[in-house]
Structure 1
Amino acid sequence: MWAGMHAVQAQTAAPVQPAAASAPAAATASSDALLVEKGRKLAVAADCAACHTAPKGGASFAGGYPIASPLGSIYATNITPSSSAGIGSYSLEDFSRALRQGVRKDGAHLYPAMPYTAYAQITDEDTEALYAYFMHGVKPVDQAAPQTALPFPFNIRLSMAVWNALYLKDQRFKPDASKPPEWNHGAYLVDALAHCSTCHTPRNTLMAEDSSRYLGGGSLGAWYAPNITSDAINGIGGWTEAELVQYLKTGRVPGKAQAAGPMAEAIEHSLQHLPDSDIQAIASYLKQTKAVAGGETQPRYSYGKASLQSEDTQRGLIDGADAGWKVFSGSCAHCHQANATGTANGEYPSLFHNSVTGADRADNLVATILHGVDRTVQGRAHFMPAFGDAASFTDRLSDQEIADVSNYVLTQYGNPAVKVQVADVAALRAGGKPPLIAQLPRLILPAAVVLLVLVIAFIVIRQRRKAAGSSGV
């Protein structure tokens, strides 16, 4: 309870004293209102709206958001108190079981795209507050969300019972008595409510988090959630706490990074709304995490510098020496400037000293070109058009053009050792290279055919041997 209440008590005004005659009823109403408000703030910290509200005007918490996974799209469900389409009939026990064990009221298992493996750590008191909010602070929406339909065998939800037995730790958060309160508060926010490890920890063959590389970076389809451990080169060890706080609140730190993709959604819907004490606790905790090393030889944000090209150089590029420069000059230079310094107000960042262009993989650079940036922080929209989207008002760039401009930017301003192939762009446009387990459906039919052939061969050989034995040969 202490961890969730830390954020709530700091911003909750003292209730008005009721008249003496109605003191018991008023006190109960006030207590209920405080519980609902506490649950609302916990839901913000848990980033529930980002997944359970469909984009482009969807009703709050009515579901319908397609969560891209290597196994197919998983649609977030309606979690409003609607009795027909949502969780209106859920008891507190039903709600807790779904939240922390991944099992619906009807007994069906949820997929871990719903981060119940992290939410399992949420305390009983905070679970009760969340339940109060969703039952009494959210408007019911009687509209069913689209059904998730994964290919066989992943559509067999009962298989998640085995997965849970292997990987779900149904345990509540326990403060470490040897650590200060701020560290424990940050750990609770990072590991339970904000479920950071869900994205930032790599997965094993069965898509469970690899705890040995906690927060060491993980693939999210077209995007890549980077290493955010205390490692000075591969992680955020070279960031100051003030820079981390600024990034979590605004989504950008000039000369280091800017948020796009799923991280931009987390900042827009959750992190920017948290009290400063929560953000400070998260930053403090991350700075003290165990360092996880990687393959990078210098910090991602340390690469590159501005380049002012002479007229002769530009003429050579125009003559066809560099196809990437042609795309850059036509589609990127107007906003990021011809020498890639970005705009003076920081609205469009520099392309050097940038964690996207300095990384040891180009996933986020390509994904940003493909899908753009669209986040609203502190009432201000930050936008970059999507050059890979046919519906965008910009010219749609081909896989070859995106590969060309990516390599130009990497060579001129970022990590020149990273190269982008056309096939890489095609894979990221399609949602990223699927892990081994996602290839299981297309392997089942060939395997079944081979098994059938072997069975038929066994039967034929056996019958021939019987026939030979009966003939006395």
Structure 2
Amino acid sequence: MKTMKTHMSIVFSSAAIFVVTAMAVFGRIQAATQPGEAIVALAQTGATDNADPAMIAKGRYLATAGDCIACHTAKGGRPFAGGLGLDSPIGQIYSTNITPDRRTGIGDYSYADFDNAIRRGIRKDGSSLYPAMPYVSYSKMRPSDVRALYAYFMHGVTPVSQPNTTEDIAWPLSLRWPLRFWRMAFSPEAEVNESSVSADPVTRGRYLVEGLAHCGACHTPRGVGFQELALTDDGRTFLSGSVIDGYVANNLREDQKDGIGKWTESDIVGFLKSGRISHSAAFGGMAEVVEDSTQHMTDADLKAIAAYLKTLAPKGASTPALQGNNAAGNALRAGTVHGNGELTFIDNCAACHRTSGSGYDSTFPKLALSSVVNADDPTSLIHIVLDGAQMPWTNAAPTHYSMPGFAGRLTDRDIADVLTFVRSSWGNHAALVSAGQVRKVRESLGLPGQPVLPQN
């Protein structure tokens, strides 16, 4: 679905992109940079300045569903006090303090200020936020939900006096004015319709996925301007998968091979609630999303998300579902294999994932017919083998399983061979993995070089 700590990849490398895109949408600038009359009226009435317990509780739930804490809390830091470093192609960005401290946080924000930041990407001083803040998705939130969030952050969050850290971006890339043009080109108008979400589960699921949960921020491919290529399901690009933070954010459409075509709605709910099901487990940023956010959502909302996702047509032409084939498992058990990939699997992988590739339910993930294994891009698999992975801690599944990294034990060739074996066994059907692909991921992660093998 999504990973909140990865939106910084939206940042841009050239002001020219924004100037060009702005020309096509210049007519929208005035309307998009001013809060609507209804929003101003709400702010003037003070409707969102109360400390109503029900409103605060609703805002707390919405903040959890939106996983605000993931980006706005540094490791070991106070909740929502910011300071988390976010890598971007142009330098380091730091999340801001969104506690109600009046000097260093957002304590002096009016509702209109808050709404402009959340749904329009405009700071209190009128400058633009980096799109690391997913305001493109939040633009779809109903005003009543934004008011609840405002009530929570003003009255339900402990103020923390912690100055914001200035981004470490060299001039002229540090200039924010080009972001104004990006907003005009790629960010929708903020929602004004309070009745846009019905009780229908699919409609509710669409509202959550496209808006507050901002799943597309990670799971939708991006264009040359680093914008999401689709913000809603008006084609087959939305949620069709993307590479972010060194992982493949999976295709969430109905594709049988590398999507969720074989997943039931119960599978999706179970995954979002526990971080693991019989045939898959959360890893990377998604593990954090489950741990911090989705496990705390109501069953009704999780079911709504599942119902909506199951309406998304496959991204590509319809293909037959993969069929299981245990010829590889039989050969491994018989000891008739001699290839480097097969032998590396026996020595390093079979104890947990089994020679059948079936793993152990909700403990060690299944490799046979896995959508992650069969993805066109093997980046996630390479990343996990090199650096290891951990399942999230959840109330539904509190046992914390992890996989060690093999960067210091296996060469790039070993990893390429074992992953090629995995991606072509037990009915899996995916392209081979090269040593060059492994080396590229190893370098991007800053992991040590290949181990030195003993000489015979």
The alignment's TM-score, normalised by the length of structure 2, stands at 0.76
Counterpart pick for 1:329 among 332, 339, 346: 346
Provide the C-alpha distance between the structure 1 equivalents of 2:169 and 2:296, rounded to a whole number of angstroms. Answer: 34
- Aligned mates of 1:275, 1:74 — CA distance in 2: 33
Does the 8 A contact of 2:257 with 2:374 survive in 1? no
Q: Which has the higher contact order (CA 8 A, sep 6+)?
A: 2
Structure 2 letter corresponding to 1:425: V
Distance in 2, matches of 1:428 and 1:226, equals 18
2:72 corresponds, among 52, 76, 83, to: 52
Residues 1:386 and 1:246: Cα distance change in structure 2 (over 3 Å)? same
Shift of 1:422: 2.4
Question: Is residue 202–residue 216 contact of structure 1 (8 Å, CA) maintained in 2?
Answer: yes
The RMSD of aligned alpha carbons is 3.1
Structure 1 or 2: more helix by fraction: 1
Aligned residue type for 1:331: N
Q: Secondary structure at the match of 1:307?
A: helix
Corresponding residue for 1:164?
Answer: 183
Give the superposition deviation at 1:382. Answer: 3.2
Which one-letter code corresponds to 1:59 in the other structure? Answer: R
Cα contact 1:357–1:409 (8 A) shared by 2: yes
1:351 to 362, 367, 378: 367
Which runs of structure 2 are paired with 1:113-132 in the superposition (5 Å)?
113-132=132-151
1:355-375 Cα shifts (integer Å, max 9, x gaps): 221222212211222343231
1:245-324 map, 5 Å: 245-255=269-279, 257-289=280-312, 291-294=313-316, 297-299=319-321, 305=326, 307-309=329-331, 313=335, 317=338, 321-322=339-340, 324=341
Name the residue aligned to 2:123.
Answer: 104
2:256/2:319 contact within 8 Å kept: no
Give, in whole Å, the separation in 1 of the partners of 2:388 and 2:262. Answer: 27
The answer to whether the 8 A contact 1:370-1:388 is kept is: yes
Written as runs of structure 1 = structure 2, the 5 A alignment for 1:53-452 is: 53-55=73-75, 57-150=76-169, 153-172=172-191, 174=193, 181-211=200-230, 212=235, 213-232=237-256, 235-255=259-279, 257-289=280-312, 291-294=313-316, 297-299=319-321, 305=326, 307-309=329-331, 313=335, 317=338, 321-322=339-340, 324-343=341-360, 345-374=361-390, 375-378=392-395, 380-387=398-405, 395=408, 397-413=410-426, 415-431=428-444
Could you tell me how far apart the structure 2 residues matched to 1:244 and 1:235 are? Answer: 12
Tell me: CA distance 1:411–1:161, structure 2 relative to 1, closer, same or farther (3 Å): same
Aligned to 1:32: 52
Name the amino acid aligned to 1:39.
Answer: G
Give the direction of change, closer, same or farther, for the CA distance of 1:62–1:329 in structure 2 (3 Å limit): farther
Q: Work out the CA distance in 1 between the residues paired with 2:198 and 2:265.
A: 18
Partner AA of 2:369 in structure 1: H
User: Residue type matched to 2:52 in 1?
Assistant: D
Distance 1:356 1:237, change over 3 A: closer
Distance 1:73 1:408, change over 3 A: farther
Q: 1:131 to 1:199 in 2, by over 3 A?
A: same
Are residues 58 and 296 of structure 1, via their aligned partners in 2, closer, same or farther at CA, if it must alter by over 3 Å?
Answer: farther
| C-alpha deviation, 1:407, in angstroms | 2.0
Give the conservation status (yes or no) of the 8 Å contact 1:351–1:414.
no
**Equivalent AA in structure 1 for residue 133 of structure 2:** M
Q: Deviations over 1:296-324 (max 9, x none)?
A: 8455x75664604467736x63xxx41x3
**Structure 1 residues 59 and 427: CA distance shift in structure 2, 3 A:** farther
Which whole-Å deviations, capped at 9, do the CAs of 1:391-449 have from their partners, x for residues lacking one?
Answer: xxxx45443443233223223346444122222223334549xxxxxxxxxxxxxxxxx
Instruction: Tell me how far 1:252 sits from its aligned partner.
Output: 2.3
- In 2, distance between residues paired with 1:231 and 1:388? 31
Aligned-partner Cα distance in 2 for 1:326–1:111: 48
Q: Cα distance, 1:333 vs. partner? A: 2.7
Deviation, 1:94, is 1.5
- SS of the residue aligned with 1:377? coil
- Aligned pair count reads 390
The 10-residue stretch of structure 1 (347-356 or 397-406) with the greater mean CA deviation from structure 2: 397-406
Q: Provide the C-alpha distance between the structure 1 equivalents of 2:405 and 2:413, rounded to a whole number of angstroms.
A: 13
Q: CA deviation at 1:136?
A: 1.6
Deviation at 1:329, TM superposition (A): 3.4
**Conserved 8 A contact 1:359-1:415:** no
Q: Is the 8 A contact 1:342 1:349 kept in 2?
A: yes
CA shift in 2, pair 1:310/1:264, >3 Å: closer
Over 3 Å counting, the alpha-carbon distance change for 1:34 and 1:341 in structure 2 is same
Compared CA separation, residues 88 and 288, structure 1 to 2 (3 A) = same
SS, match of residue 103 in structure 1 = coil
Contact 1:222 1:428 in 2 (8 A): yes
- Pair 1:384–1:161, CA change in 2 (3 A): same
Distance 1:381 1:190 in 2: 28
Conserved in 2, the CA contact under 8 Å of 1:78 and 1:144?
yes
Deviations 1:251-303 (A, max 9, x none): 22323x221112222111111111110011111111123x242378455x756
Which of structures 1 and 2 has the bigger CA Rg?
Answer: 1
2:38 is matched with which residue?
A: none
Look up the SS of the partner of 1:74 in the other structure.
strand
Give TM-score, length-normalised by structure 1. Answer: 0.74
Q: Render the CA deviation track for 1:179-231: whole Å, top value 9, x for unaligned.
A: 76222211111111101111111111111111241122222141112221244
C-alpha contact (below 8 Å) 2:260/2:371 kept by paired residues: no
